[in-house]
Amino acid sequence: IRVTGAGAQQAAKAVAGAVRIGANECWTGPFPVAAQAAFKLVQEGNRYEPDNEHQKLFDAVAAVEGIPADRVTAWPGSSDPLSRVAVAYASPTRGIVTADPTYEAIWRTGDWLGAKVTKVPLTKDFAHDVKAMLAADPNAGVYYICSPNNPTGTITPIADIEWLANNKPKDAILVVDEAYIHWVDGPNAARLAATRDDVLILRTFSKLFGMAGMRLGLTFASPALMEKMMRYDGGQVTGMLPMTAVACGTASVGEAALIKARRAEMVAAREKSVSHLKAKGIKVIPGSQANMFMIDWGKKTAKEMQAALLAANVQIGRNWPIWPTVSRVSVGSMEEMEAFNAAVDKVWKA
């Protein structure tokens, strides 16, 4: 069977000559120091694991996040552990609760499982409505919070995340997907996974670290929680990782100054486009703290605007069924966002 990617993979396909701001990728690659670390491992590619690369990654992450290293697990991206946690903890009798709109990968896993998937609209501030999420299915197996949320870029306060952790059924898992956390200048939820056995945090190197095609992600969770996610490969899951990606990630996580500089540069590019759109009277969903934002075109559908912008050589993102006139745009470099602004000027008739 030839498997063609739905959703994200399709949006990530190259269109010759177009500015690529459709798939929430980083506009540039790994930090040079990290790329060098990966290259060293290319040269040592004859060994499965030349020098304890996994442990070095776990120790580096544990030091940055302040969590025990035995609660860090690495994956080829965060998609696989996201599917696995659903397969392990949801079922036809224990559903999955998410926001709407949100990153929809877990909806598809839930459908495959035959688990009830309950989608709860975001609050008026575009946060997850944690009380409504619990009320909507008080006996779910998995509660999924994406913060910052894909596609709105908006965050859910840590106090609300904690409230859900404390009030959900004891044997349900709270999954907090922090794929975009590196753009947030504030607290993250990692410490919840440092002490609890019922919270799993997802991280990825596909976004700010510029490693989407290299494939590296992380989970923070207790060994007891992880055991059920690894039951079909006997805990050998880390054998699936290329050492190039592991070394690249290890060399990236501690680079606080580089992370901060990349974040600041992309936030400036994002805000330049947001101001440009607002000045034209185009509605932008407020509050993004990530490398994406959403535009409500109002009288045009998102699909029409996506096609019009593509004709002007700018590939923006998709829309979610709940909001047919709202497009997601990923943040590229300043130059790419200027090209986007110019393309909007060309195609938008107020």
Binding stretches for ligand PLP (CB under 6 A):
8, 24, 77-79, 82, 103, 146, 150, 177, 179, 204, 206, 212, 217
- Shorter beta-carbon distance to ligand PLP: residue 82 or 308: 82
191-196 LR contacts (CB < 8 Å, sep 24+): 191/66, 191/67, 192/161, 192/162, 192/165, 193/67, 193/71, 193/220, 193/221, 193/222, 194/66, 194/67, 194/68, 194/71, 194/220, 196/165, 196/222
Which of 342, 340, 317 is CA-nearest to residue 330? Answer: 317
- By beta-carbon proximity to ligand PLP, the closer residue of 8 and 88 is 8
- Partner residues linked to 100 by β-bridges: 121
Nearer to ligand PLP, 205 or 343 (CB): 205
Of 102 and 306, CB closest to ligand PLP: 102
CB of 123 to ligand PLP, least distance (A): 18
Q: Which of 275, 286, 266, 267 is nearest to 326 (CA)?
A: 286
Nearest approach, Cβ of residue 139 and ligand PLP (Å): 25
Q: In this chain, which residue has its C-beta nearest to ligand PLP?
A: 77
Q: Is the dihedral of CA 304, 310, 312, 315 positive or negative?
A: positive
* Min dist. Cβ of residue 262 to ligand PLP (A): 17
Q: Which is nearest to 220 in space by CA: 253, 237, 248, 195?
A: 195
> Please, which residue, 79 or 244, has the CB nearer to ligand PLP?
79
Q: From CA 277, how far away is CA 256, in angstroms rounded? A: 32
Closest approach of ligand PLP to the CB of residue 340, in Å: 19
Query: Residue 204 or residue 341: which is nearer to ligand PLP going by CB?
Result: 204
Q: Which amino acid is located at 350 in the chain? A: A
Q: How far is the CB of 164 from ligand PLP (least distance, A)?
A: 17
Task: Give me the least distance between CB of 278 and ligand PLP, in Å please.
Answer: 25
Contact between 175 and 142 under an 8 Å Cβ cutoff? The reply is yes
Residue linked to tokens 């997802």: 202
